[in-house]
Amino acid sequence: MMRNSKEQHKAFYIPISVIDSIRYEGIESYFNVIDEDDGGKQKREFFVEGINDYLIPIDEVLNSVDAAQLMDDCFSQKPFDIFISHSHENEDDAIALSLYIKEKYKKDCFIDSLVWEYSKKIINRIKSQFSLSREELSYTQTNVHIMLATSLMKMIRDTKKFIFIKSSESTLEENIGDVFTGSPWIYFELLVANMMINKTSSMNESVSFMYPIDDLIKDFERISDLKNLDKIR
């Protein structure tokens, strides 16, 4: 199913309190709903045995991994309508919101932790198969994180609609009104979404590695009530 490439990108943020009234019947209900139109979206088991299937014969000494194939299998770019950015601690709320949107608007929502492989699991599988030096482990981690970042950017670009679940787990608000996130991945997702709606943003970071996001979401449309979800259509 192809998405309209000319569709304008839109970004929203929704306070987690708005989602509290939504109920759902467990994690499997997410897969049951998104599988109705396209069976290719369902989460599958990656790395059944290990990394051997991704080795390519380039060098007799080095174990060369087909990074493009590994990225495609672990972070598959199946078509979705809406990207939901959230703290992993709010996964249940993201699922509830996605099911509500599917039922009311017939739109499929992407939740990375349910559809993609965990980057830490990929790194651990590679670690368990090869004797890596500290430098080789750092190199492996960098490559896997670049694969994830690239895939996130592609998915945000292709989904056109972006919703950030704002909660005490995903953000920290200071008394002076500044909003921070302790998650570099949430910061990255908000930054990409902000770029997609053609707004400028600040790249300033604090020494404690808390990322300022108030500039990134100030141009997002606030969803203050479930009725306001009509905006995503």
The pLDDT tens digits for 68-106 are: 888 888 888 789 999 999 999 999 899 999 999 998 999
13: how many CB neighbours lie within 10 A of its CB? 22
The pLDDT tens digits for 19-39 are: 988 866 555 666 565 555 544
pLDDT at 120: 87
Residues in the chain: 233
pLDDT at 177: 72
Token readout for 94 is 């993201």
Collapsing DSSP to helix, strand or coil, 221 comes out as strand
Instruction: Output DSSP code: residue 8.
Output: P
Listed by start position, the domains of the chain span 10-41+50-232
The pLDDT tens digits for 112-164 are: 878 887 888 888 888 888 888 999 999 999 999 999 999 999 999 999 899 99
Token readout for 54 is 């991704």
Q: Is 58 exposed, middle or buried (0-12, 13-18, 19+ CB in 10 A)?
A: exposed
Which residue do the tokens 């707004």 mark?
A: 199
Q: Which positions ≥6 away from 11 have C-beta within 8 Å?
A: 161, 162, 163, 164, 193, 194, 196, 197, 217, 219, 220, 221
How far apart, in whole angstroms, are the C-alpha atoms of residue 104 and residue 229? 9
**% of the chain with per-residue pLDDT over 70:** 77
pLDDT at 206: 39
How confident is the prediction for the chain on average, in pLDDT? 81
Q: Which positions ≥6 away from 162 have C-beta within 8 Å?
A: 9, 10, 11, 12, 82, 83, 85, 156, 189, 193, 196
pLDDT at 230: 80
DSSP-H helix ranges across 23-79: 28-34, 67-74
